[in-house]
Amino acid sequence: MSFLASSARANLCAPGDETALLEMKALSILRRDRHGWVSLVDEVNLTLRRGEVLGVCGESGSGKTLSALAVLGLLPGGMKVKGSIVYQGEELLGASRRRLRAVRGREISVVWQDPSTSLHPLLSVGTQLTEHLRYHLGLGKVAAERRAIDLLGSVRVPDPTSALRARPHEFSGGLRQRIALAIALACDPKILLADEPTTALDVTVQAEILRLLRELVDARQLSVVLISHDLGVVSSLADRVQVMYAGRVVERGPRAHVIGTPRHPYTRALLSALPGSSAAGSKIQAIPGSPPLPGHLPAGCAFSPRCSFAVVGCATERPGLEAVDEDVAIACPIDPFAAGVAK
Amino acid sequence: MTELNRALEPLLCLREVAVTYRRRDGAPVQAVRGASLCVDAGEIVGLVGESGCGKSSLGRAAVGLERLAAGSVTFKGQPVPALGRGTRPVAFRPLQVLFQNPYSSLNPRRKVGHQLADGLRASGEAKTSARISALLAMVAMPASAADRYPHEFSGGQRQRLAIARALAARPSVLVADEPVSALDASAQAAIVTLLGELREETGIGILFISHDLGVVREIAQRVAVMYLGKIVETGPIDAVWRDPRHPYTSALIAAAPVADGAGNLPLGLAGEVPNPSAPPTGCSFHPRCPVAEAKCQVVDPPPLVVGGGQEARCLFACVPRVSPGRREPTANKGGDL
Amino acid sequence: MSLIAEGASPVLFEGDGVEAEPDGRAARGSSGNLVASLRCPGAVFGIAVLTSWLLVAVLAPLIAPSSPTAPSAGTLLAPSAAHWFGTDELGRDVFSRVLYGARLSLPLALLLVTLASVVGSSIGAFAGFAGGIIDSFIMRITDMFFAFPSIVLTMAFAAALGPSLQSAVLAIVFVSWPPYARIVRGLVLGMRSSNYVAVSRLLGASSGRLLVRDVLPNVVGPVLVVATLDIGSAVLLLAGLSFLGLGAQPPVAEWGAMVAEATQFFSNWWMGLFPGLAIATVVFAVNMIGDALRDYFDPRSFERPRP
Q: Distance between the two ends of chain B, CA-based, in angstroms?
A: 59
Query: If you ran DSSP here, which 8-state letter would residue C46 be given?
Result: H
pLDDT at B7: 61
pLDDT grade for B185, boundaries at 50, 70 and 90: confident
Q: In chain C, what residues touch B91 (CB-CB under 8 Å)?
A: none
- Count H helices and E strands in chain C, helices first: 12, 0
Asked if A78 and A265 touch (Cβ cutoff 8 Å), the reply is: no
- Note whether A196 contacts C21, CB cutoff 8 Å: no
- Spatial distance between the Cα atoms of B259 and A235, rounded to a whole number of angstroms: 5
Cα C28 from Cα C42, distance rounded (Å): 17
pLDDT in tens, C264-275: 888 888 888 998
The 10s digit of each residue's pLDDT in C138-172 is 999 999 888 877 777 767 776 777 777 777 788 88
SS3 label, residue B78? strand
Going by pLDDT thresholds of 50, 70 and 90, the confidence category of residue A341 is low
Cα-flanking dihedrals φ and ψ of residue A329, to 5°? -130, 140
Residue C208: its pLDDT value, please? Answer: 78
Distance, CA of B123 to CA of B131 (rounded, Å): 12
Q: How many CB atoms lie within 10 A of CB A312?
A: 9
The band of A28, judged by pLDDT with boundaries at 50, 70 and 90, is very high
Q: Could you say which of B101, B152, B165 has the minimum Cβ distance to residue C30? A: B152
The alpha helices in chain A, defined as continuous H runs, are 64-71, 97-103, 115-118, 125-137, 141-154, 160-165, 173-184, 203-220, 231-237, 255, 265-272
The whole-number pLDDT of residue C6 equals 29
- Report yes or no: C132 at the B interface, CB cutoff 8 Å: no
Mean pLDDT of the A210-223 span: 93
Does A117 contact C10 at a Cβ distance shorter than 8 Å? yes
Q: CB contact, 8 Å: B99 with chain C?
A: yes
CB contact A306 to B (< 8 Å)? no
Are A293 and C22 within 8 A, CB to CB? yes
Question: What CA–CA distance (Å, rounded) separates A122 from C286?
Answer: 40
Q: What is the pLDDT of residue C8?
A: 29
pLDDT band at B321 (very low <50, low <70, confident <90, very high): low
Q: Which residues of C touch A74 (CB under 8 A)?
A: 7, 9-10
% of chain B residues with pLDDT over 70: 93
Looking at per-residue confidence, does C245 or A194 come out higher?
Answer: A194
CB of A331 within 8 A of CB of A264?
yes
With an 8 Å Cβ cutoff, is C200 touching chain B? yes
Question: Per the CB < 8 Å rule, is C4 touching A229?
Answer: no
Percent of chain C's residues with pLDDT above 70: 84
Asked if ipTM goes beyond 0.90, one says: no
pLDDT of A280 strictly over 60: no
The pLDDT of residue A6: 37
**Per-residue model confidence as pLDDT tens digits over B190-208:** 889 999 999 999 999 999 9
Which pLDDT score, from 0 to 100, does residue A277 have? 54
pLDDT at C167: 78
Q: Does the beta carbon of A281 lie under 8 angstroms from any beta carbon of chain B?
A: no
B25 touches chain A (CB under 8 A): no
A26 and chain B: CB distance < 8 Å anywhere?
no
Q: Which one of C26, C201, C206 has the shortest CB-CB distance to B152? A: C26
pTM of the model: 0.80
Q: Which of A232, A258, A256 lies closest to A244 in space, CA to CA?
A: A258
- The shortest C-alpha distance from C184 to chain B (Å) reads 16
Q: Please tell me if residue C15 touches chain B, with a CB cutoff of 8 Å.
A: yes
Q: Do C203 and B118 touch (CB under 8 A)?
A: yes
B237: nearest Cα among B145, B310, B313: B310
Contact list, A203 vs chain B (CB under 8 Å) = 50, 211-213, 252, 255-256, 266
pLDDT cut 90: percent of chain A above it: 52
Q: Which residues of chain C fall below pLDDT 70?
A: 1-37, 154, 158, 298-307
Q: Between these two residues, B184 and A160, which has the higher pLDDT value?
A: A160
* Gap between the Cα atoms of A304 and A298, Å rounded: 8
Q: With b meaning 16 or more CB within 10 Å and e meaning fewer, what string describes A154-184?
A: bbebeebeebbebbbeebbbbbbbbbbbbbb
Q: Which helix (H) or strand (E) holds C292?
A: helix C270-297
Across chain A, mean pLDDT equals: 86
DSSP string for A21-65: EEEEEEEEEEEEETTEEEEEEEEEEEEEETT-EEEEE--TTSSHH
C-alpha of C147 from chain center: 20
Tell whether the torsion through CA atoms of C74, C78, C82 and C85 is positive or negative.
positive
- Inspect the interface and report whether the beta carbons of A196 and C18 lie closer than 8 Å: yes
Cα separations (Å) of C206 from A94, B97, B121? 60, 18, 12
Given a cut of 70, whether residue B3 has pLDDT beyond it is no
Minimum CA–CA partner of C7 in chain A? A74
Rank A275-279, B131-135, C33-37 by mean pLDDT and report only the highest. Answer: B131-135
Binned at pLDDT 50, 70 and 90, residue A233 comes out as very high
Put simply, whether C135 touches B (Cβ < 8 Å) is: no
| Full DSSP string of C242-270 | HHTTSSSPTTS--HHHHHHHHGGGTTSTH
Pick from C19, C25, C27: which is nearest to B155 by CB? C19
Residue with the larger pLDDT of the pair A232 and C265: A232
Q: What is the mean pLDDT of residues B72-83?
A: 91
> pLDDT tens for residues C33-43?
566 667 778 88
pLDDT-above-70 percentage for chain A: 92
Per DSSP, which regions of B83-132 are E strands?
95-98
Q: Write down the pLDDT at residue B228.
A: 94
pLDDT per position as a tens digit, B53-62:
999 999 999 9
Average pLDDT over residues A329-340: 84
Q: What was the pLDDT predicted at A52?
A: 94
pLDDT tens digit string along B252-273? 999 999 998 898 999 989 888 8
**Cβ–Cβ of C5/A120 closer than 8 Å?**
no
Name residues 140-199 of chain B within 8 A of C (Cβ): 148-149, 151-157, 162, 165-166, 169, 178, 181-184, 187
Q: Give helix C150-161 / helix C216-243 axis angle, nearest 10°.
A: 70
Integer Cα distance of B156 and B177 in angstroms: 15
Q: Is C19 on the interface with B (CB under 8 A)?
A: yes
Higher-confidence residue of B1 and B15: namely B15
Chain-wide mean pLDDT for chain B?
87
B139 touches chain A (CB under 8 A): no
Query: Strand A53-57 relative to strand A79-87: parallel, antiparallel, unpaired?
Result: unpaired
Instruction: Check residues C209 and A323 and name the one with the higher pLDDT.
Output: A323
Q: Is the pLDDT of residue A325 over 90?
A: no
> CA-CA distance, B213 to B150, in Å (whole number)?
30
What pLDDT, on the 0 to 100 scale, is given for residue A225? 96
C contact chains, 3+ CB pairs < 8 A:
A, B
Sheet holding A328-330, edge to edge: A108-111, A191-195, A223-228, A53-57, A240-245, A248-254, A328-330, A322-325
Nearest CA in chain A to C6: A101
Q: Which domains does chain C have, with CATH numbers?
A: 61-67+82-297 (1.10.3720.10)
Q: What backbone torsions phi and psi does residue A259 show, to the nearest 5 degrees?
A: -95, -35
Q: In the structure, what pLDDT confidence band is assigned to residue A247 with cuts at 50, 70 and 90?
A: very high
| pLDDT (0 to 100) of residue B6 | 55
Nearest CA in chain C to A246: C307
Q: Are C72 and C87 in contact (CB under 8 A)?
A: yes
B306 to chain C, closest Cα gap in Å = 34
For residue C51, what is the enclosing H or E element?
A: helix C41-63
What pLDDT, on a 0 to 100 scale, did the predictor assign at position C30? 38
- Structure confidence at residue C108 (pLDDT): 86
* C124 Cβ neighbours under 8 A, 6+ residues apart: C142, C180, C181, C182, C183, C184, C185, C186, C188
Cα–Cα dist C295/C293, whole Å? 5
